[in-house]
Structure 1
Amino acid sequence: MIRSFFWLMVTLLLTALVFAAISYQTAVTSPITKDNAIIFEIKDNQSLSQVVQQLKQENIAVNRDWFKIIAYLNGQQEQLKSGEYLITPDLKLPELLALFVSGVSHQHSITFPEGWNFNQIKQTLKQQAAIRQTLDAVTLPELLRLLNCPYPDVEGLLFPDTYFFKKGDSDISIIKRAYIKMAEVLQQEWENRGDNLPIKTSYEALILASIIEKETAIPSERDLIAGVFSRRLDKKMKLQADPTVIYGLGRKYQGNIRKQDLLEDSAYNTYRHKGLTPTPIAMPGRAAIHAALHPAQGDSLYFVANGHRRHVFSNSLESHNKAVNRYQK
């Protein structure tokens, strides 16, 4: 009788072990989800049990018992880190646990295109729900101090690029990265600048580059337009650049430059004032900065849009007026 009971217990134990082994194998080898990728967020100070309960609530098909057992066996029950995590369809339980322990959070992205101004950047930052909004509470002088910026405005000082960030990163932290990147690019280009330029500082180069950026998106034209502006600066001629007028008008600009707009007494009206504008008017890309520091040689002093996204360049006012009559009237 005793022997029969013993073998019954052994059989039950072995059966339980077999089922446990099958359960474990299934738990650790089965994909967590067969659907699309999922963003899962662990909040600050969440316990292992709370995370497991949240996995259940969000219908993430992970064996919650084995998840907890493996975490305890590995001593990881208190090592789960807060953040957003990308759970891909092929991820398995051990990989999920390792992901939560690693703290490698899901990365969001935001793009600042060439030619944007600071107001456009601020609006785009506000539209990102994952970004912690702090910029509205900071004045321009305070922002300049935070950036350790020696210039009167942040306009043009952020590098156009795609920036990655984690949920909860602040808008100012992204601005700082863009500011540092622009400083690096500008310094590199300035150190390799051409000779006999009419601009004397890297900030002046940035201002000129921003005007070039707004004048054309055609790569082959950048150095040609830089050449026109450089010669006009050399000759003490007004730049007469429409984008500077538009920038100076701000919200008053209605889509077309009117004759009265050209008479506007703005520091950014290069039809009235000689030299560069007080600050950049937009974010120039590296190519525009390079063009400002390597203007094309030649004699052209004028250009006009030909209606096909390109420009016609002229050496004389007479030729320019003919081009204007042909393409603009």
Structure 2
Amino acid sequence: MKAVFKTFFILLLLSAIAVGGYGYIEYEKFTKQTVSESAPKSFLIAKGSSIKRVALELEKQDIIKPAWQFQVLAKITKQDTKIKAGEFPLEAGMTAQQVLDRFTSGKTISYNSSIIEGYTYKDLVKNIKADPNLVQTLTDEDYADIMTKIGSKFKKPEGWFFPDTYNYPRGTTDLEFLKRSHAAMVKYLNTEWEGRDPSVPLKSPYEALILASIVEKETGVPEERPFIAQVFHNRLRKGMMLQTDPTVIYSMGDRFKGNIRKSDLRRKHPFNTYTRTGLTPTPIATPSAEAIDAVLHPEDTKALYFVARGDGTSQFSNSYRDHKRAVVKYQLRGNAKAYQGDK
């Protein structure tokens, strides 16, 4: 009986050794396995995913398998509870350990979208709707009431979204994107307002945003922004009309086809700064950080007028007489008889 038991024990021991050896060989094969060229280039981990769910999905997509060994690896390395959510890039040749390390690093694939300075809210909406990287959730009705949707205390959306290129993970919605941009504008504007030049004749951050939008649309070369801003400050102090074409264009909306007629300049409209004094009711576009800075930290100049020279720069004048001469020289090619400003 003892001999039989001894023989059985030896056979059992040999079987265990054989199984263990086989398991070791298989695990070695698993650890040397690499992501193939034909495998997906990215892997998405949903929020709240367990290591089991991740391992099964890796096996299903033929990226790393078998699933149970990936789970074992994660437990051995104590990474089973450290995986992050998001979309992770994968490269051919990565080992199972490298894939696991990638999932616990938090270095996900980032997408980006831009808001361009000088765009109107209408332009901005058009761009967002056409953006393939954002999850589209907003309707036309939502966009019409976007300030309520994003939880803003401000009523009109024009000018309230900070122009920048934003990076974000896969799955970001259009609403989330706009909330982030609006928060950035509010923060930047309020911060700059607190450090403004005390001589600036504006009553609130919103007035600064409005004027910055006008400066943005009037500026041909960046370095002139602070000078243009000061021209408008000087006119506001004197109670002069701003008389700036971009406000007329904004008031025309879809009627604008590239030209401003005399009748357009005379048309009574809340945004027409040729027929009324002061600022427009709202911004007329999205101002850049530089335009906001220019309005709150203008250059010291007594100029009340400026006219485009035709090369992107402007000719600044302190008096109407000098301005008239500049218009004749740069806009009318010396033909004084064609000047219409006094009519």
Under TM normalisation by the shorter chain, which class is it? Answer: 0.7 to 0.9
Q: What's the CA shift string for 1:128-158, capped at 9, x where partnerless?
A: 3342323326546743234443433011111
1:20 counterpart = 2:2: no
Partner SS, residue 108 of structure 1:
strand
Would the aligned equivalents of 1:300 and 1:314 in 2 still touch at CA under 8 Å? yes
What is the Cα deviation at residue 227 of structure 1? 1.1
1:33-72 maps to which residues of 2 (within 5 A)? 38-42=41-45, 55=58, 60=63, 62-64=64-66, 66-71=69-74
Q: Distance in 1 between matches of 2:76 and 2:300?
A: 72
| 1:297 and 2:300 aligned | yes
- Residue number in structure 2 paired with 1:252: 255
Pick the structure with greater CA Rg. Answer: 2
Question: What is the CA–CA distance in structure 1 between the aligned matches of 2:303 and 2:116, rounded to whole Å?
Answer: 29
Residue 158 of structure 2 is aligned with which of 135, 155, 165? Answer: 155
Moved more, 15-24 or 246-255: 15-24
Alpha-carbon deviations, 1:161-186, whole Å to 9, x = none?
12222222221222111111111111
1:170-205 CA-partner distances (Å, limit 9, x unpaired): 212221111111111111111111133221111111
Q: Is 1:222 equivalent to 2:228 in the alignment?
A: no
TM-score computed with the length of structure 2 as normaliser: 0.79
Aligned counterpart, 2:277: 274
Q: Distance in 2 between matches of 1:199 and 1:260?
A: 30
Please state how far the C-alpha of 1:278 moved relative to its aligned partner. 0.4
Are 1:190 and 2:217 matched, yes or no? Answer: no
Q: Which one-letter code corresponds to 2:117 in the other structure?
A: E
Q: Could you tell me which residue of structure 1 aligns to residue 110 of structure 2?
A: 107
User: For 1:169, which of 160, 168, 172 is the aligned residue?
Assistant: 172
SS in 2 for 1:135: coil
Aligned residue for 1:144, secondary structure, equals: helix
The more displaced of 4-13 and 154-163 is 4-13
**Are the counterparts in 2 of residues 140 and 153 from structure 1 also a CA contact under 8 Å?**
no
Partners of 2:123 and 2:154 in 1: how far apart? 20
Counterpart residue type for residue 326 of structure 1: K
RMSD: 3.5
Q: Cα gap change, 1:14/1:94 in structure 2, threshold over 3 Å: closer, same or farther?
A: closer
Q: Separation in 2 of the partners of 1:210 and 1:121? A: 14
**2:125 alignment partner in structure 1:** 122
Counterpart of 1:145 in structure 2 is 148
Q: Counterpart of 1:306?
A: 309
Deviation, structure 1 residue 246: 1.6
**Please, which runs of 5 or more residues in structure 1 have no aligned partner?**
none
CA contact (8 A) 1:303 1:311 kept: yes
* 1:119 Cα deviation from its structure 2 partner: 1.8
**What's the CA shift for 1:222?**
0.8
TM-score by length of 1: 0.82
State the identity as a percent.
36
